[in-house]
Amino acid sequence: MRVAIGTLPLHASVIGLILVWVLPTAGLLVSSVRPAHLVSSTGWWTAFTTAPGFTLQNYEQVLTANNMGTSFLNSLMVTIPAVIIPIAVASFAAFAFAWMEFPLRNTIFLALVALLVVPLQMTLVPVLQLHTNLGLNGTFPGIWLAHTGYGLPFAIYLLRNFFGSLPRELLESAAIDGAGPATTFFRLILPLSVPALAALTIFQFLWVWNDLLVALIFLGGRPGVAPVTVTVSNLVNSLGQNWQLLTAAAFISTALPLIVFFALQRYFVRGLTAGAVKG
């Protein structure tokens, strides 16, 4: 009984934080399925005390008239390769930094870690000039390479710490059995590193999907290639008072990241903490 009373403030704080995060999302969802005259005249909470009059007209209008459907597909075209490419490259690099011996290994790794403190905005002009010279500006491969470069330092840092926390005896046993570096990496390291890879996938997916600055710089606002974030920002400038459409557009843009997070959340904490001590 005494233990239960002692943990009551902790539980109350957790419940309070949950409500702080959930209530705005709930309000966004309710407002997105209400008619314009109700959204502009009453709060979203009144939908549960009066005749709600829910409708999907806001979603229909946003997806058809405001190019959100095309932008959603564009975001998938940007995000999926921009998640797979840096994680694949970082996995190879992290394995080398964790378990292979080569000159200046620690120095190169420290230089990569130091890149984490470089503001992204400092690199936009030179990288954009390079993309323009190579003809990659305004193309999907161009933004894939940009997100790969911006995501690699953290990805290598996270995976290297996790790979380094794996038991050395396990790799030595594999080497005694005749396993080469490639076999060890694909059949031993990667299967054991699913938590870290899942955590990194969540981070990279959320960063790329919610990115506005890099997409605006390297893709621009053209409807044919503009992702969801750019389209939503244009809606803010063009719709004015029709912000009930903005709620529908915002919920469309947040739905997929929520699905990805909840699908991989059981790996999230394990992936972040497994390499925190040894590495």
Above 50 in pLDDT, residue 277? no
DSSP-derived secondary structure for 179-202: --HHHHIIIIIHHHTHHHHHHHHH
Return the percentage of the chain with pLDDT > 70, whole number: 87
Say how far apart CA 4 and CA 136 lie, in whole Å. 60
pLDDT of residue 35: 81
Q: Does domain 58-273 have CATH number 1.10.3720.10?
A: yes
| Stronger pLDDT, 204 or 223, i.e. the higher one | 204
Above 90 in pLDDT, residue 51? no
Task: Give residue 66's pLDDT band: very low, low, confident or very high (50, 70, 90).
Answer: low
Above 70 in pLDDT, residue 176? yes
What's the whole-model pTM score? 0.81
- Terminal alpha carbon distance of the chain: 41
Rounded CA Rg of the chain: 23
Domain with CATH 1.10.3720.10 in the chain: 58-273
Above 50 in pLDDT, residue 164? yes
pLDDT of residue 278: 46
Let me know the angle formed at the C-alpha of 203 by 201 and 209, rounded to the nearest 5 degrees.
90
Return the percentage of the chain with pLDDT > 90, whole number: 26
